[in-house]
Structure 1
């Protein structure tokens, strides 16, 4: 019986059927079960931010509690100590971090969209920067998906076919000489099989030819056209009665036709050599006379063609007595017609992108339904590594799951892989600690796309189910777009780290100033409302400008980040502590200096607040690169930073001198001498951090 699957669309006609499965037992139900059983993993960023937030929470609560207890122990009132602890907590909490995180990721989304990568889930932007393995489909992503039949084997002879693309201009030759096709019946029958067992269309337009349907099938139409077999006339003479569509688990397609000229029914098969050979017991010689089928020889011929990077399809024909065709009727008794081998050349940009991925420490794995030898030849043309062995779907199925993790580390090329096996590959790679990007376009690819850290769906040829399951959709279906998205992801993560490294010293410095004032039993150098002003204004006008920072040179020459590595390493923690201490010394020192000179408490607090703002501003220029000075990345390469600094300076002048803001924030006007001291402290922060980075670079070189 023919089987209609749940969610199948009926385009016309009517019929009666028996329901044999429902719910999770249908094909769509099985895929849905796989989808629901896959765990949508948290991104490295969300995991690290959650861990970082918990740590920061306990540190701030602990510091506030210690400050409160020490103040009460020294005789301060409970209310004053409560307010001081609140001020400390307000100062230490990086309020701008959630907004900066979201905006930086959103800017990354915009940049990726310009490079043909549509991000469906915001945290996926950063996950791309953490990717350690990219598993890519071959056809159309790594190759051009513009098939051209170049070699045909029929009747024991090899024929060469000239021409390229989908324009049906070219000749068919034998031993280097152009032939008259009609003199080779076996050749014509093999070409006819490719034309009839086909769902594509070749359409002539005023200036070119275009195709509708699968490019592989379109290449078969073009090859037949070059021999004078036109689709409309041949299909009219051989109307289709029934068909068995191609399915990955069966590896073949079958169509039933009525040959009107001789009033007979023939079933034509098209598929992989393995699936076609097991159904054949005879072959045709050049003049269409039955002869013995040498299956070993056929395998040799296919390997010879596949070694040239050609994609090979096998064809067969069988007589039929019914008006429909079923799977149990195509198990054997067919006559082998021949082979058609087509080239699908690698994309030049894919070769460049794969090399870039290797330089960036990212493994690339190719997954295809093609013959293993073809897959290996294309992998070598692409410059892929670890191509000593090709793993087939049958080998994968015969391998125990406990051995998958070892297998996937050693092999980069997978052939004759069913969509369901992609899920197993993803899980094995993740078991080894990898951050995996997986491409897919079909409904059956959805579980693997959902399981992958980054599911990448094809925008041009992908199904809606695949797009819904994926975190990213490629509008051009190119591998180079994935590599470009990884580069953008690394840039986004860099900018996030720059913001965190920039904002934490401010929060740390403010917390330390409050604690120091309590320990020294003096007035608070900055009030809670001034802390809020500093944190919110600088986060928006200074910190967020780092989100627009362009990618640093040699970004794709670095190894991927270790997924287990904390969000801040020892070097950055040291720098945060260093700058926090410098801000503490500058703000608290000048605050006490102003009071010692007889200035009012409001003036001293105004100086302290401005020390924090301008130290942040000068330190912002340090944070434009975590390793180099701003002169290395270009002073004017991010004009947003300069605009933010100028705007912040103007607001601080209003904060200091405008009466309404003086009344709101408790500030007072200060003299030019105080500004020189403030700028001196800020400049010293910039110089000390720059010196620290220089010393680390020289030490690293040694």
Structure 2
């Protein structure tokens, strides 16, 4: 038996008891059994399980084995699949004898739990939740039901899973392929990251719009009404597709699965991320208002000044779209990302801007004066510089966080 269990077999002992007495004992252990032999079952690990585990470990996800199998069988399988922490283990009976404090500590320190029963599995899940861990539980048996129900995410097997396990679970893996869990994590992280990019973009670009309208009016500058409602509406029409179409379709970044999972009580935005967006917005504001003051110093009229400020803001918006596709990798890297909508939206934005700057009926409606080559170049340089400085911050991040490259 020891030899079989050490090779990863599940061993079942078979015995029989015969009785002519109709008064059965209170427990089956009171029968006199005759040993018949043993049955050895081998359920080989999935071929891709090593790769699945390595993805989980790389993503900062802790993996624990909670099984009803014996110590020897479980450890043998754990070694075969490259499971981390197979050296230490504890049985369900031993675990349930611990105090709550000792139990919680053991649950965090040990990765293999053997000879487990439903009550022990459930207590492990609740202990992890109590310690602010986000818990996903996979199972297929009836005795997994309570733990599947209690976990934040219960995952049942579609083929081998019992009906009770499926009913208790939040998700069902239809083909019992654990690699789908890795895919689910990556898709979830991509959606979360892209949503944050879109909102950070919205914060950054609205700050200069608000301040460019407010500051000249509040400080009594020579052209206080530099933007009218029609200009703001046009800018909003540009920003809408950018945040909802471009960022929604961004591919997952190659370091996304190397990031640590978020704590359970973590807020959507950290102060660091919010500060980044605010600073980006203020930098663009400096660029647009600097353009305003430059135009005044050159004795340019109001339509030309308005056109220069507006063009600077449009250029900043385009560059911000490209820069904020990643807050870690350079703009050169993100230009290689497969998202054809980026260039399409940018081309439409620049095309419409050109129409309202250089086609008389449109420029008259927006109260613009056509800009010369020198003025356009000035807007292009200032608009780009007011955003592109963040590439230096990203370069510093890459140099100080080499493990995420």
Q: TM-score, normalised by structure 2?
A: 0.84
Secondary structure at 2:383 match in 1: helix
- Residue 350 of structure 1 deviates from its aligned partner by 0.6
Change (3 A) 1:637 1:342: same
Structure 2 partner of 1:588: 289
More strand by share: 1
1:538–1:648 contact (8 Å) kept in structure 2: no
Task: Determine the C-alpha separation between the residues in 1 that align with 2:165 and 2:360.
Answer: 60
1:353 corresponds, among 40, 52, 57, to 52
Task: Determine the C-alpha separation between the residues in 2 that align with 1:527 and 1:441.
Answer: 63
Structure 2 partner of 1:193: none
Change (3 A) 1:590 1:345: same
1:599 corresponds, among 297, 301, 311, to 301
1:389 aligns with 2:88: yes
Change (3 A) 1:668 1:446: farther
2:242–2:321 contact (8 Å) kept in structure 1: no
1:440 aligns with 2:139: yes
1:628 aligns with 2:351: no
1:488 corresponds, among 187, 192, 196, to 187
2:132–2:263 contact (8 Å) kept in structure 1: no
Change (3 A) 1:310 1:617: same
Listed as ranges, the matches of 1:677-688 within 5 Å are 677-688=378-389
Structure 1 partner of 2:115: 416
Structure 1 partner of 2:368: 668
Change (3 A) 1:581 1:467: same
Structure 2 partner of 1:309: 8
Task: Determine the C-alpha separation between the residues in 1 that align with 2:261 and 2:125.
Answer: 18
2:205–2:317 contact (8 Å) kept in structure 1: yes
Change (3 A) 1:487 1:586: same
- Residue 439 of structure 1 deviates from its aligned partner by 1.3
Change (3 A) 1:343 1:531: same
1:279-303 deviations in whole A, cap 9, x for unaligned? xxxxxxxxxxxxxxxxxxxxxx3x3
1:506 aligns with 2:205: yes
Task: Determine the C-alpha separation between the residues in 1 that align with 2:35 and 2:394.
Answer: 71
Secondary structure at 2:44 match in 1: coil
Task: Determine the C-alpha separation between the residues in 1 that align with 2:203 and 2:160.
Answer: 46
Change (3 A) 1:390 1:698: closer
- Residue 494 of structure 1 deviates from its aligned partner by 2.8
- Residue 694 of structure 1 deviates from its aligned partner by 2.2
1:619 aligns with 2:315: no
1:691 aligns with 2:387: no
2:71 corresponds, among 365, 369, 372, to 372
Structure 2 partner of 1:652: 353
Listed as ranges, the matches of 1:196-215 within 5 Å are none
1:441–1:463 contact (8 Å) kept in structure 2: yes
Task: Determine the C-alpha separation between the residues in 2 that align with 1:468 and 1:692.
Answer: 49
1:542–1:644 contact (8 Å) kept in structure 2: no
Higher RCO structure (Cα 8 Å, ≥6 apart): 1
Structure 2 partner of 1:577: 278
Q: Which runs of 5+ in 2 are unaligned?
A: none
1:490-541 deviations in whole A, cap 9, x for unaligned? 3333323322332221122223334423441342433445334423432323
- Residue 629 of structure 1 deviates from its aligned partner by 0.8
2:341 corresponds, among 620, 630, 640, to 640
- Residue 412 of structure 1 deviates from its aligned partner by 0.9
Task: Determine the C-alpha separation between the residues in 1 that align with 2:17 and 2:114.
Answer: 29
2:286–2:386 contact (8 Å) kept in structure 1: no
- Residue 592 of structure 1 deviates from its aligned partner by 4.4
Q: Which runs of 5+ in 1 are unaligned?
A: 1-300
2:106 corresponds, among 407, 414, 417, to 407
Task: Determine the C-alpha separation between the residues in 1 that align with 2:209 and 2:395.
Answer: 27
Task: Determine the C-alpha separation between the residues in 1 that align with 2:46 and 2:156.
Answer: 19
Listed as ranges, the matches of 1:56-67 within 5 Å are none
2:196 corresponds, among 484, 489, 497, to 497
- Residue 620 of structure 1 deviates from its aligned partner by 1.6
1:540 aligns with 2:241: yes
Task: Determine the C-alpha separation between the residues in 1 that align with 2:273 and 2:166.
Answer: 38
Task: Determine the C-alpha separation between the residues in 2 that align with 1:544 and 1:375.
Answer: 48
Change (3 A) 1:699 1:353: closer
- Residue 594 of structure 1 deviates from its aligned partner by 4.5
2:118–2:146 contact (8 Å) kept in structure 1: no
Listed as ranges, the matches of 1:452-471 within 5 Å are 452-463=151-162, 466-467=165-166, 469-471=168-170
1:618–1:685 contact (8 Å) kept in structure 2: no
Structure 1 partner of 2:226: 525
1:637-676 deviations in whole A, cap 9, x for unaligned? 332212221122233345556788778x845353244433
1:517–1:524 contact (8 Å) kept in structure 2: yes
Task: Say how many residue pairs are matched.
Answer: 397
Task: Determine the C-alpha separation between the residues in 1 that align with 2:27 and 2:94.
Answer: 28
1:349-402 deviations in whole A, cap 9, x for unaligned? 111221232233221111222122211211121211222232222223323333
Task: Determine the C-alpha separation between the residues in 1 that align with 2:147 and 2:156.
Answer: 11
1:571-630 deviations in whole A, cap 9, x for unaligned? 5445323321221122223344446644335x5445434433321211221122212212
More helix by share: 2
